[in-house]
Structure 1
């Protein structure tokens, strides 16, 4: 929604909308290509800078059917072809790119616990999973995601009309607090949890290999990069994209079960909503999808600055989801004062990270402009600044949060004006 120095809009290009059958040789949808030209042109005509995501989890079905999508290293070549086409087609207009959206979620939720498409996991995780191998496939998928990213990064840098472009990955970490502040093992688990969740893809694109703790714990289940792949991955991001929503307590696991490997267990933690003293992480209104913990936002940003040598950071998503059940209505949905407070608290936390902690944050986007399809939650969880009436021809209604954010952007209302006790 907003870069810190100009109006901007984040959008995604659907791979299958450009290449309906996965590869260029099997046909390009000119209607799909033109759709994105029209959208980008309309943004530019209105003085809005497009930030474009290349892959937002929409692997073409044809490639899933042919070789299993990101389970196969064959996807790397096909992804580069798709990325090259997109860069050449839109690179003269678009200068800000995200190769992958939330690779940790895509791999973990899709291939380790089966909550998101394609819904793969082991039966000891969920008996409803039709297929999969938890503790293995997520690492394989991420390996192919990272190599695909590196190929796309190289392709962008070779694109002549793309000169001056920036590209990164939109990571989606939570912040972790120790489950027991007096327990040294719980304290140490925080860094380990962040290495597994964020360092998995962030550190690898900076240093060219996985975090040492991942290689130590996961062992032979973690694929290895060739020397050439490491060289391509090293420094293959111009900025760090962050999607932040919430935080959780990290509880150290002393004795994992090696017979039932899982990504979360590999990080030797369990996630807890309450700490050892039965205190919840942040606050969580009745209709909130996730706990609200703005302190975690600031702490996460400072952690990235301190651990990764103060990189440029763009907040690609930050938002508050609500579910109303049978009480859902225009009147209820537009009176979203909790979302307004969420934005105020997180804008203040970001303000403090920038001005006090000296974190190099250069952009901020709210998730999202409109209520939309939220993966396995469908249309039940509302994240928008505008309420969409799904019972009345998708009519849009401005929410209280939308009114606040519009005022914040247009009249210069600053986070420093917000009372500190709102944190």
Structure 2
């Protein structure tokens, strides 16, 4: 790709939807300049995204299919290096991906998700009590719903699934999910969480429980060597090496913690914000005239929790939406843009409307690398949002909507805080 007329992506994600609209005006697939000066393709069209997500000619393995990375051409301080170094189920291809996905699939079966409902309801009830107690200690002052409620629900639910001990004595959940814009801080957090999860895996080997990590241990081959801290510490291991059992377990668990926490946290915040700024639709949901599932689904469509997800790489020249993506080119799917595609949803695609009949989206991905836990996310967000408005019918924003800042990253579509009055 040459650099003529490249659209420069805002690394801070200051205006996720406005930027998506400007990108879409250039076509469903267009060239962009990512942070670090990386030339790539951005996919904002719904149909183009589904094509790419399902096409085996687009790989997520940078070591095999991104020449700039494989040949060491990237600068050491390249800000998106972590996305290229990622070595877990989300980037694996072929047999390793199938094997790892099979390991976790059982944890997200309909039966397992249904059995988790009472535990999710308890997590939500506890979080609501704590939210009320927190607000009572500072009467009249705003409360950050993201930190004091959405974070608590999202991290505790995934913690319950994975088997984090009550009270989280090792502080794993505090590190779950946040997308840290500072590469050095992000790496430090990654390694800190990796060490804590490694220790948890060791503990689960000694005393297994009824949780996903214990299930993964039971289904995995024995560890071939010394486990825990230091394994995959660089997150840049060779895909040709035989996988260490504990290293793979830690990678899978870390992936589950992060993907289970951050999107759910943002989805809760985005759904609450949408209803707080649309009293008519809030009333429809609160009265039962519209199901809360419609609230969740419309939020996934119109305000998806992930904005732009690096990376996929073309393994050969591929034509998509009338343009040719060349072999080795990086591709970023703009998930928050695809649900607002007017080609699919009409001229009002950018409007949040829980009465909308067609709420199709790809917020959870598509194809072999689609999210493994959408049923759990949908359930916990529905329970969390419905219970919040039932418990606090007078809930209101403490600031004007245009005062809310983004997360400081172009990857996620969320708010840094959500100040409210109960």
How does the TM-score come out when normalised to structure 2? 0.23
Of Structure 1 and Structure 2, the greater strand share is in 1
Q: Give the helix-richer structure, 1 or 2.
A: 2
**More relative contact order in 1 or in 2 (CA 8 Å, sep 6+)?**
2
**TM-score, structure 1 normalization:** 0.23
